[in-house]
Every structure is written in structure tokens, then in C-alpha cells.
Amino acid sequence: MKRFTRLALVAGVLVSALAFSGSAWAIYAPSLTVTSQRNAPGRPTAILLGHVQTAADDPTAKDTIYAPLGYGVNLTQAAGTKIGDVSARLILRGGGNAEVDVEGEVIADNPALYTSNQCAPGLHGAVWRLNITVAGTPLTVPIYVDSITAGPEAAFSSAKIQLCLAGPIGTPAGAQLLFAFFDVNGVFTNPSNTSNRVWKALFTPYTVGSPTPNPGGTTEGQALVPGRVALTMKAKSLKRGRVTITGRLLVNGAAQNITFNPTGAWNTWTTINVTVPLNNGTGNTIRFESNGQDLANLDQVEIL
């Protein structure tokens, strides 16, 4: 989604400030970012996934990302379906360590075409392609996706996403990933509870100067997605006398009744505090609606 892509570009500016060019890689400490478009329990949501590392890090061969328990997972998208967008920054090791920004699309493909891949062999529930162009050359990054219903991983995860990367050996201009953000739509449904959701990832680097992965260098990362994002509103009324003011508060279409008790005087406030859930990463609509009981005498609304 365009909104998520803009978020990715902002994050890229921050990453760029931390990165520096160099030819000797000596560390490996990538990180995972996860943003949910909606946090409401049981609601479908787009998910923005991000991989972030610096130019000093060893090149990454593979990310294995685990969605926590409770998420619904839909992997029925037909081959050729656009699932989302990708925004990334690469460092060209064969191009003087120049950094370039690239954008592309996330497209569903036919899993039967990828059973013999070396990175994650076997038949998967879904395969997504990140389609980008590097130094004038098209480059496809495959992502292998599976629902998890059995085995040891089922104790902590509902889905596994395996992102397989080439480079810098064998990629156009020796391209190596610095960061990538991609959103997926129509795949995930939020857990039915409001607990915080901890996504996990395993990052495996390449052996320095070699196209061979280095499993011994694998590190772990985590990202927290809040189970509920909320605001507290303080509403005040100066309505005098013994009149009770009632109405409805609607947040993103969900309604609840609100009531102000009589104040007894024109210079006395009656205040209520209301906490409501919000959508994360997108706009929210808040509306007060009268039911004929004088809600127009609402004098102040404060967002806390």
C-alpha cells in the first residue's frame, strides 16, 4: 500500500544515517520491523515487514520470519496477484559502494515452480516474488510462505516467511541489501485477543567473500506489534441544571453511548473519560452523534 511504502522511505532515511561504506565486513546485527495496518482483534490487516542492516554488516543470505500464534493466514492468492509493494536500499559493492533506492511489487507465484530451490526446498503454501530492477537488470527475490499447523514451530508460530537473498556475489553491480520494507495485503487476520504480538526472525549471513551461507552466524531478532492501540478522550460540558446529556461516540464506525450528569451551575464542568481502540498505521474517524438529548452542549474534547 502506498501509505506503508511512504513509511518505509522515512525509515530508510534513519537507516542511512547509521550506515557507512566499507569493504571489510566484520559484524552482523540486522533487525526486524513489523507494522500492522489495523490492530483490532479478529480483523483483516495489511502487514508491513522490514529488514534493516548497515553497510558494515555481513551480507544476508536468508531471513526466516515467524508470525506469532493467533493470526489467521490466507495463502490462496492466484499466481500473478499483486499482494503489495516493496521499497529497498542497496549498496553496490561492485559500484564503488554507491547506495541506490529501488521500488517494486510483491506478486504471488505458483509454488510448484519452486520445489527444487536450494534456499528453502520443497512445496510451500505460497510463493511471493519481490520484483525490482538493479543497475538496469531485473532482479527477483523469492519469498516462501507456509501456514504452521504441526511440528515444533506450531508451539509459537502461525506462519513462516522465508526470504532468500542473493549477493553481493552474483548480483548486478554486487548489490547487497541494506534495508527492505514490503507490505502484504489480504493474507493476515489479527488474533482474536488484545495481547501484544511478538514476531520473531532468524537472520543468516553469507560467509564473507563467498556465495555460501554461514549458518553458524545466524542471529535472532524480534518485533512487537501492539494488540491494541487506544486513545483517551476527555469531554467536558457546562450544561446547567438537572438535565442529563446523552449521545453516542463513534470511532471508525463502532458506537458507544456517552452520558454527562448535570453540573448544577454554568461555571461547573462535568467531565467524562473514554478510552477507545484505534487503527494503527492509517486514519481514524471520531464522531459525536446526538440522540436528541442536548449533546450539542458539549464544550470541549481533549485527546490524551
205 and 241 assigned to the same domain: no
pLDDT value of residue 106: 96
pLDDT value of residue 260: 73
* 8 Å CB contact between 223 and 68: no
Cα angle 23, 28, 29 (rounded to 5 degrees) comes to: 130
Residue 107: give the domain boundaries. 2-225
Summarised one tens digit per residue, pLDDT across range 67-81 is 999 999 999 999 999
- The alpha carbon of 76 is separated from its chain's Cα centroid by a whole number of angstroms, namely 20
Q: Which three cell numbers stand for residue 52?
A: 534493516
pLDDT value of residue 136: 87
Report for 46-60, 129-143, 286-300: range of highest mean pLDDT: 46-60
169 and 93 assigned to the same domain: yes
24 and 158 assigned to the same domain: yes
Q: Which one is predicted more confidently, 290 or 222? A: 222
Final residue of a domain: which of 180, 204, 225? 225
42 and 56 assigned to the same domain: yes
**Looking at residue 274, which CATH number applies to its domain?**
2.60.120.260
Summarised one tens digit per residue, pLDDT across range 234-279 is 555 555 555 566 778 888 888 888 777 776 666 666 777 777 777 7
Q: Specify the DSSP class assigned to residue 194.
A: -
pLDDT value of residue 20: 33
Tally of domains in the chain? 2
Q: Which one is predicted more confidently, 122 or 15? A: 122
236 and 190 assigned to the same domain: no
166 and 245 assigned to the same domain: no
pLDDT value of residue 110: 97
Cβ within 8 Å of residue 64, ≥6 positions away: 160, 161, 162, 163, 201, 202, 204
* 8 Å CB contact between 273 and 202: no
- In angstroms, the CA 252 to CA 283 distance is 9
Query: Is residue 144 pLDDT above 80, yes or no?
Result: yes
209 and 240 assigned to the same domain: no
145 and 258 assigned to the same domain: no
285 and 158 assigned to the same domain: no
Final residue of a domain: which of 197, 225, 253? 225
19 and 70 assigned to the same domain: yes
pLDDT band at 151 (very low <50, low <70, confident <90, very high): very high
Q: Report in angstroms the alpha-carbon separations of 33 from 7, 40, 180, 201.
A: 12, 19, 10, 10
pLDDT value of residue 192: 92
* 8 Å CB contact between 145 and 126: yes
pLDDT value of residue 275: 74
Final residue of a domain: which of 171, 200, 225? 225
260 and 217 assigned to the same domain: no
pLDDT band at 295 (very low <50, low <70, confident <90, very high): low
236 and 185 assigned to the same domain: no
Report for 1-10, 14-23, 30-39, 180-189: range of highest mean pLDDT: 180-189
Q: Which one is predicted more confidently, 249 or 28? A: 28
Query: Is residue 61 pLDDT above 60, yes or no?
Result: yes
